[in-house]
Chain A
Amino acid sequence: MMKILALVGTNANFSYNRLLLKFMKKHFKQMAEIELYEISKLPPFGVDVPLEEQTEVWKLKQKVKAADGVIFSTPEYDHGIPAALKSAVEWLSYHTKVLDRKPVMVVGVSYGRQASARSQVQMRQILISPDCNTNLLPGNEVLIGGATHVFSEDGRLIDPAMRDNLEKCFTNFIEYIQVFQHVDEEEVTMPIKQPSISDAYIKFPTGRLSLKEVQQIFSTIPFEIDLIDSSDNFSWFSDKPNREHVRDVASLNEPVTECHPPKAVPGVMSIINSFRDGKRDVVTRPLWMHGHRSLIQYYALRDVDGHYLGTIEFTGNVEYILNLFENGAWDKGADASTGASKHEDSADTTATPVAETADASTGASESNNEGADEMTTDPDVATDDGADASTGASESGSVDADDEAADATTGASEN
């Protein structure tokens, strides 16, 4: 179902505009899922507001990003939109592109006959300014005047003409959103003769992979990968099912400061900067996510000559591996370090698929061992490793661990 975010355009405790949006939410429930947003939660816009006070702003941006369309319901104060609503729009257009080409609709209620007409004109002007650049629904004016007479006590819009108009306009808005969703980007770019790649192979020194194989390998391995490129933009994530961090393609190409909650930004930046400066190559974060044990590892991605290419975040549910370990999967192999013992291991295990997977994960951790000093497959050192990881976290400030938790919970609640 279509997801619509509806901004209540005032910070007042009582508002007919809030009443209208609540009515729309109920009335149109078969057409769209309308979520009301209270702008009173936001700090007043200012270019000097510190990042750590912008958590609510970040949350709103995420909501706008996830919505198929946004409704602005505006009262009228002094021929204009309320300062509180203008402030919200300023947040949504300052160093962010969340409103860019977002389908939006303007509605409004007022006590007088003018029905917030002037403030709606102003709202429309603001929404098409270059920093907003929304796909504003043209026409379809929802002007609800005489607020005290047109709503019933239980908040229904009872004026039949106004209700008919609202139904017509909202249906048009939903169609308008669909028009943009159905634009086939390939069709649009065809006339400019963009080259594309098909059936190509990437040749590595160690063999070749087709593009499809590359994609499917990333979707199959039991860890998810996110890439932050060398200019600190979130540039790619692996399309693994049931990800720990749910990512949205809408966040791609955004600065990393934008796609994290403001409180987490200093922690993330300190990791990235230490990689860029060559101070560290890996940061390990064991933590609980969604009720199971997970491991997050950040790796510096470097060219063969050591030049910094970006940061990869490597995240996975390690419950399965830890269960294997706790059930003694490696106990026998601990004495004999020869390859032969591995084969004995797999012979011992009755179910072949399990043995294969175990083998595969050992292989993976071995290669980790080569790349990163902090990693080891030796069970004795495993506890040290844990300590190491937490030291790493405390180095970059004790807030880091909390922030990571914030990241996880926000991500969860967002979805």
Chain B
Amino acid sequence: MKIAAIAGSNANHSYNRMLLEFIADQYQDTDEVDVIDIRKVPMFNENYKGKAPEIIADLDQRVNAADAVIIASPEYNHSITSALKSVVEWMSYEVHPLENKPVMIVGASTHEQGSSRSQVQLRDILISPGVNAQVYQGNEFFMSDAANVIDEDGKINDEMTVKFLDKCIDDFKVYARAINKMVADQAAAEDQKEAAKD
């Protein structure tokens, strides 16, 4: 499966990016995971109408090309980062690559709560009409104490965590297949209706 994995931090050192890179590495035999680094995405601004920066087209193309999306969300002030929010705003303005796309949210944090509040908020944002993603609801993956769970080489050194991550991703892939089938069927039905009209 082709998976676009968006790291929701613009910090040079990010456990969320490391988590996605670990996933990409772990599933390289079965899936093609494209880790998207958002550090170079500028702050969203409505004033760009009709002249969005080139990097947005690249983002659009990579998310569009994927069968499913994983977003790793850090938590700043009980909320998602402005850097990630900016990316979502770009993807709900002139291009809408997340529309009907199966999305799973994961998150890592150095604290106890493991980004849980920002994940709740991100769900709410992703189901807003302008984004309209198909957000996967089960298996909440919160990694707390990330500084101790992920080592310097980006390896997760906790067996239980890796096992649970495996389960989350397997379940998500099943969900993504079902959603993509549903969306394709709906599109085909629409086409048929259109054809019948003609």
Known: A11-B43, A90-B81. A80 touches B131 (CB 8 A): no
Q: Cβ of A77: which chain B residues have Cβ within 8 Å of it?
A: 44, 85, 89, 92, 130
Q: Could you tell me if B81 and A78 are in contact, using CB atoms closer than 8 angstroms?
A: no
Expressed in whole angstroms, the minimum distance between the Cβ of A274 and any Cβ of chain B is: 30
- A11 and B83 within 8 A (CB): no
Min Cβ gap A237→B in Å is 32
Name the one of B12, B43, B92 contacting A44, with C-beta atoms under 8 angstroms.
B43
Scan residues 107-165 of chain B and give those whose CB is less than 8 A from a CB of chain A.
117, 121, 124-128, 130-131
Across-interface contacts of B43 in A (CB, < 8 A): 11, 44, 83-84, 87
**Majority DSSP secondary structure for residues of A touching B:** loop
Contacts of B126 in A (CB 8 A): 78
Q: Does A340 contact B (CB under 8 A)?
A: no
Q: Are B44 and A83 in contact (CB under 8 A)?
A: yes
- Least CB distance from B103 to A in Å reads 13
Given contacts A86-B81, A90-B82, A126-B78, contact A80 B47 (CB under 8 A): no
B79 adjacent to chain A (CB < 8 Å): yes
- Closest B residue to A80 by CB, please name it: B125
Q: How does the 8 Å CB contact mask read for A81-125 relative to B, with 1 for contact and 0 for none?
A: 111111101100100000000000000000000000010001001
Report yes or no: A12 in contact with B130, Cβ–Cβ below 8 A.
Answer: no
Q: B82 near A131 (CB under 8 angstroms)?
A: no
Interface residues on chain B, size class: 20 to 34
Is B64 located at the chain interface by the 8 A CB criterion?
no
Chain A residues within 8 Å of B39, by CB: 46
| Contact partners of B92 in chain A: CB under 8 A | 77-78
The answer to whether A45 has its CB under 8 Å from any CB of chain B is yes
User: Which of A12, A13, A83 is the one whose CB lies under 8 Å from B86?
Assistant: A83
A45-B83 contact given A12-B45, A78-B92, A83-B44, CB 8 Å threshold: yes
> B76, A90: Cβ atoms under 8 Å?
yes
Question: Which of B11, B82, B124 is within 8 Å of A86, CB to CB?
Answer: B82
- Size range of the chain A interface in the assembly: 20 to 34
> Given A11-B47, A44-B42, A78-B128, are A89 and B77 also a contact pair (CB < 8 Å)?
yes
Known: A11-B45, A12-B46, A78-B130. A45 touches B124 (CB 8 A): no
> Which chain B residues lie closer than 8 Å to A208 at the CB level?
none
The digit string for B16-48, where 1 denotes a CB below 8 A from any CB of A, is 000000000000000000000001001111110
CA distance A82 to B85 in the complex (A): 7
A44 and B131 contact, CB distance less than 8 A:
no
Q: Which residue of B lies closest to A79 (CB)?
A: B128
* A81 to B47 Cα, complex, angstroms: 17
Closest Cβ–Cβ distance, residue B40 to chain A (whole Å): 11
The reply to whether A79 and B124 form a contact with Cβ atoms under 8 Å apart is yes
Q: Could you tell me the distance in whole angstroms from the C-beta of B111 to the nearest C-beta in chain A? A: 10
In the assembled complex, the Cα of A76 lies from the Cα of B130 at a distance in Å of: 11
A129:B82 contact, CB within 8 angstroms: no
30 intermolecular pairs with C-beta atoms under 8 Å apart: A11-B47, A45-B10, A45-B81, A45-B82, A45-B83, A48-B12, A77-B130, A78-B85, A78-B125, A78-B126, A78-B131, A80-B85, A80-B124, A80-B128, A82-B89, A83-B82, A83-B83, A83-B85, A84-B44, A86-B76, A86-B81, A89-B82, A90-B82, A93-B76, A125-B79, A126-B79, A129-B77, A129-B78, A131-B77, A132-B77
A residues apposed to B, CB below 8 Å: 10-13, 40, 44-48, 77-87, 89-90, 93, 118, 122, 125-126, 128-129, 131-132
**Which 7 interchain pairs have the tightest Cβ spacing?**
A87-B82, A83-B86, A83-B85, A86-B82, A129-B78, A79-B128, A12-B46
Q: With contacts A48-B10, A80-B85, A125-B79 known, what are 19 further pairs, Cβ within 8 A? A: A10-B46, A11-B45, A45-B81, A45-B83, A47-B11, A77-B92, A78-B89, A78-B125, A78-B131, A80-B124, A83-B44, A86-B85, A89-B82, A90-B81, A118-B124, A122-B79, A122-B121, A125-B121, A126-B78
Interface residues, chain B, with chain A CB atoms under 8 Å away? 10-12, 39, 42-47, 76-83, 85-86, 88-89, 92, 117, 121, 124-128, 130-131
